[in-house]
Structure formats: C-alpha cells, structure tokens
Structure 1
Amino acid sequence: MPEKENKYKSYNYEIPKNELFSSMSHLFGIILSIIGTTILVTLSIISDNYFYAMLFLIYGCSMILLYTMSTLYHIFLKGTKIKKIFRKLDHISIFILISGTYTPPCLILIPSPNGKIILSIVWGLAILGIIFKSIYVNSPGWFNGCLFILMGWVIMFGIKFIYNALPLRGFLYLVLGGILYTTGGIVYAASKNLSPKANMRMHDIFHILIILASFSHFWFMLKYVLPTN
C-alpha cells in the first residue's frame, strides 16, 4: 500500500507518458496556430484590409501564446520553480486566448457600439483574471473553470447580431467551439478531485477538447469572419 501511494505522489516520474502527451499535443497546437494565423493575416492583407489583419493577428497570437505556455508547463517536472512559473503563465494565457478569440467577431460581425462594449467587458474580465491568477496561482480548479466559462459565454449578449450575420453552418461552428471549450472547462474542474493518475488521464481529454475547440473557431474565422468570404 505505501508503494502505491508513493507512486501516486511521484506520478510525474512514474507515468511520464501522460506529461509527454500533454506537452506534445499542445506543441501540435502551436504548429497549427502558427499556420492558421499566417493564413488569416495573409488573406486579409491580400484583400488590402489591414485592420482585419491586425484583428486576426491578435486572435492568432493569443492561440500561439496559450499553446506555447501549456507546452512549456508540461515539459518541466512537478515541484520545480520553473514549472510553477509556467503554470501561472499557462493559466494567464487562457484569459488572453478567450479575449483574443472574441476580438475579430466583436469588431467585424457585431455592429458598434454593441461589439465594442462586449469586447471591452471580456478584456476587462481578462485583466482582472490575470491580476487574480498572478496573486493566487493555486486557486481552486472549479473557480478557474467557472471564470473561464463565464468569459466564454459573455458572447450571449451579442448572439442575436452574430446569428443574423451568419449562415446557419457558420453559427454552428461558433457554438460548437464554445461547447467544446465549456466541456473542457468542466473536465478540467472535475479532474482536480480525482487520483493523480486519473487526473492526468482527464487532463489529456481536456487537451484534446481544447484543440478541437480551437480548430472549430479557426474554421469559423476562416470561412465566415474573414472579409474575403
């Protein structure tokens, strides 16, 4: 029995494949994010719309930042100072990703001043979240998940405008991404009460859901928000 407990306490060393999957899956996310950002920005520039190119650059950089911080966090061993630093940066980057994802739709699809108001609320919540996480990095998993989900669904205040501006398929890609991110947040929060081994398995599922959500929203940006379409 003591050996089993010790195995759980040192699972980062005993079960390295789980951390390897977490880091490699989001390394894949970095590559996809760079490719996606390049496509969106390049197509905007080709259409001579530099303002939209800037919006997509903000969105793309927020994705790249998230996946980079997540990858670096999972590379280092538990208990090290560098891992604690990247854990904080990993959580902070989630706030930036959510706000970055809001930026193009709010300023392209939602008429002013509604879009600007929604975007200001989201970025305001992101700033508050970043300050909070900087001070209290070990906040409960359920609190983090709820805060991320709250930010993600602020879009409901402008959902009527987006629905009217899009074909049904485009709207469904947006909703699908939101559902996947929300499910990921629930999985992340729920995993905190499990054994370390089960926690890591749930964390792998969380990573997969986040990548799928990012792709759904990227496709939404490419096919239905990009000005050339």
Structure 2
Amino acid sequence: MTTARDADADSVERYTPGEEITNAILHGVGLGLALAALAVLVVMASLSGNAWHIVSFSIYGATLVLLYLSSTLYHSFYAGRAKRLFRVFDHSSIFLLIAGTYTPIALITLHGRLGWLVFGVVWGIAAAGIVGKAFWANRFAVLSTALYLAMGWI
C-alpha cells in the first residue's frame, strides 16, 4: 500500500491510481455479490422463516450492501471533497455492518430481553461511532478502531 498525506486537515490516504482502480473494481464485485446475497437471504427467510427472519436478514443484507457501495464509491475517486465524503461513509458503514451482523443473532437466536439488550447496545455504539466519524473523521482513529473491536467482542 502506497500512502501519502495531504497537507490539509482533511487529508485522506492516497493509493496509487492502479490500487484505486483495483479496489473500486473488487469492491464493486463485492457489491454485486452482496446484492445477490441480500436477495437470497430475503427469499429464503420468506419461504422458511418468520417476520423476525425477514427483518433481521434484510437489515444484515442492507448493511452489507451499504458497506460495499460506500467502499466502491470511496475508491472511485482519487482526491477531493467527494473522496473525503465517501471515506466518512466507508468508515461509517463498518459500524453499520458490525451492527447488522449482530441483528439476526440478537433478534432470532438470543431474542427476548437479552436479544434486545445486545441489539440496543450494538446499534447504540454504531450510532455513536457514525456520529464520531461524521464530525471528527480524521481524529480519534484509535478510538474508532477500539469501538469496532469492542462491538465485535460483545
């Protein structure tokens, strides 16, 4: 990975043009696969599950799609305001995917009070992380990484 920093406070990592093209293509392929997975999950849940399955799988699939969409867009720009904006979306979507991954576990497997507690805590941390990324995108990188890890270990 080749990185350099812009001189301003809104700097973002810079990859070579070839790396950016590769990232955009691969994440675009991931987006296509995520869309297919979302469709399969919802159809399977509709055929053999209940409303909890449909809702929780839809949330998981939607967060997976958002992750790959935002990452594809982030890597589709080489510099500028759009790049910085999509970097915030890209990093915020990590919080969404982690919370989305917990959703079927919380609502189907755990269900009841414990399930709703896990659901609320994980989505609350995700919301806090997204707000942090929105207002302090280039600061507190260690804190956002710690939040990603904490969410993964709940």
TM-score (ref. length: structure 2): 0.86
Q: Structure 1 runs of 4+ off > 3 angstroms?
A: 7-13
Using the TM superposition, give the Cα deviation of residue 147 of structure 1 relative to its aligned residue in structure 2, in angstroms.
Answer: 1.5
Q: Kindly, what percent of the aligned residue pairs are identical?
A: 36
In the alignment, residue 66 of structure 1 is paired with which amino acid?
A: L
Contact 2:95 2:130 in 1 (8 A): yes
2:9 maps to none
1:60 maps to 61
1:118 maps to 118
CA pair 150-9 structure 1, distance change in 2 beyond 3 A? closer
1:202 maps to none
1:144 maps to 144
In the alignment, residue 105 of structure 2 is paired with which amino acid?
A: P
Q: How does 1:52-91 map to 2 (within 5 A)?
A: 52-78=53-79, 80-91=80-91
- How big is each residue's C-alpha offset from its partner over 1:14-71, in whole Å with a ceiling of 9 and x where there is no partner? x311111221121111111111111111011112623311110110000000110011
1:23 maps to 24
Using the TM superposition, give the Cα deviation of residue 9 of structure 1 relative to its aligned residue in structure 2, in angstroms.
Answer: 6.4
TM-score (ref. length: structure 1): 0.59
Q: How many residues matched?
A: 146
2:133 maps to 133
**Which residues of structure 2 form unaligned runs of 5+?**
7-12
- Matched position secondary structure for 2:123: helix
- How big is each residue's C-alpha offset from its partner over 1:79-109, in whole Å with a ceiling of 9 and x where there is no partner? x111111111111111111111110111111
Looking at structure 2, the residues matched to 48 and 56 of structure 1 have their Cα atoms a distance apart, in angstroms, of 10
Looking at structure 2, the residues matched to 35 and 42 of structure 1 have their Cα atoms a distance apart, in angstroms, of 11
Looking at structure 1, the residues matched to 64 and 49 of structure 2 have their Cα atoms a distance apart, in angstroms, of 24
- Matched position secondary structure for 2:78: coil
Task: State the superposition RMSD in angstroms.
Answer: 2.1
Looking at structure 2, the residues matched to 35 and 90 of structure 1 have their Cα atoms a distance apart, in angstroms, of 20
Q: How does 1:151-190 map to 2 (within 5 A)?
A: 151-154=151-154
Looking at structure 2, the residues matched to 111 and 8 of structure 1 have their Cα atoms a distance apart, in angstroms, of 47
2:47 maps to 46
CA pair 124-48 structure 1, distance change in 2 beyond 3 A? closer
In the alignment, residue 127 of structure 1 is paired with which amino acid?
A: A
In the alignment, residue 57 of structure 1 is paired with which amino acid?
A: S
